[in-house]
Amino acid sequence: MTRIKYFQTDLGMNKVAIWMQALRPRTLPAAVGPIVLGQTLVAPDHFSWLTAILCLICALALQLAVNLANDLFDGLAGVDEHDRLGPTRALQAGLLSAGELRVGLMLMLGIAVATGLWLVIFGHWLLWVLGGLALLGVLGYSGGRRPYANLGLGEVAVWLFFGPVAVLGSLLAQQTPVYSEAIFAASLVGLPVAAILVVNNLRDRHTDARAGKLTLAVRLGPRATRWLFSILTLGPWLVSLPIGLAPWTWLAWGCIGLAALGLNVKLWRHDGSALNPVLGQTALYSLAMALWLGLGVGN
């Protein structure tokens, strides 16, 4: 009896590990950063902790939904095969069925919709539009008849949803007027998040091309794709000089720049599966840039 109980517990733990792998929590800093930035830009007399937490939950649920949708739709389309260079995909490896992934996807979308409805009801009417676009973005990246990833629009969509939509949507949810500095910060913060997808697509360009998935990396080639990564990571850092801030902020700005340079060295020197660590590191860098922009614009 004890052995049977232990075996069942072990299976349960394995299932949890499989779901954690499919959800890819290492990508979550990419969702946290823009929301935190947005909340730092809210006028003090408009700020609500409840609204801020709901914005964060909604963003995290949408990010997890994107991860499950990619696993599901790429697996069904035959993009993921035995020679995949990235982390194991649950459907392709037979760890989860398509039905299980659909349930997980619907659960994440349900959480996003539930929190989003609250934000829409007590926020600005434009959140109806932004919320609808976000749902289409989740399902349309690799799903449907014409996934926009196949059109080379993935990076543009990531910039849009993790930049202007996330940051300005946070302001609208808190009923704070949108001002020029917030638009500037929102435009910058989405760039390093888009760089995460650049790394992913650079790594997978050969298998994507074979499957007919014409990502931007497939269309541009490796050299131009690496230059794009450099622009997306170094660009927002270079234009966010701490002018007018306390002297110590120059040290923080310099550290962020060193992190960006380190990422670029790795990307230019490595390829294939060796780029896997760069994905998580770029996600953390995007969070650092969001916090830095919040410090600069919020003050």
DSSP state of 272: G
Q: What is the pLDDT of residue 99?
A: 94
Q: What is the pLDDT of residues 193-229, one digit of tens each?
A: 999 999 999 999 988 888 888 899 999 999 999 999 9
Q: Is the pLDDT of residue 5 over 60?
A: no
Q: CA geometry: angle at 68 spanning 64 and 72, to 5°?
A: 170
The two three-digit tokens of residue 291, written as one number: 């916090």
Q: Is the pLDDT of residue 127 over 50?
A: yes
Distance CA 235, CA 292 (A): 14
Sign of the CA dihedral 129, 134, 137, 140? negative
Quickly state the pLDDT bin for 92 (edges 50, 70, 90).
Answer: confident
The Cα-based distances of 63 to 25, 68, 129, 252 in angstroms read: 9, 9, 18, 28
Quickly state the pLDDT bin for 1 (edges 50, 70, 90).
Answer: very low
Nearest to 268 by CA among 231, 225, 204: 225
The Cα-based distances of 153 to 139, 198, 219, 243, 258 in angstroms read: 14, 11, 11, 34, 29
Q: CA geometry: angle at 257 spanning 254 and 261, to 5°?
A: 140
Q: What is the pLDDT of residue 254?
A: 96
Q: What is the pLDDT of residue 2?
A: 39
Q: Which residue matches tokens 């930035």? A: 37
Q: What is the pLDDT of residues 257-296, one digit of tens each?
A: 999 999 999 999 999 989 999 999 999 999 999 999 998 8
Quickly state the pLDDT bin for 30 (edges 50, 70, 90).
Answer: very high
- More confidently predicted of 4 and 125: 125
Q: Is the pLDDT of residue 171 over 60?
A: yes
Ranges 62-66, 91-95, 132-136, most confident: 62-66
Nearest to 112 by CA among 91, 97, 99, 127: 127
Quickly state the pLDDT bin for 68 (edges 50, 70, 90).
Answer: very high
The two three-digit tokens of residue 69, written as one number: 């949708």
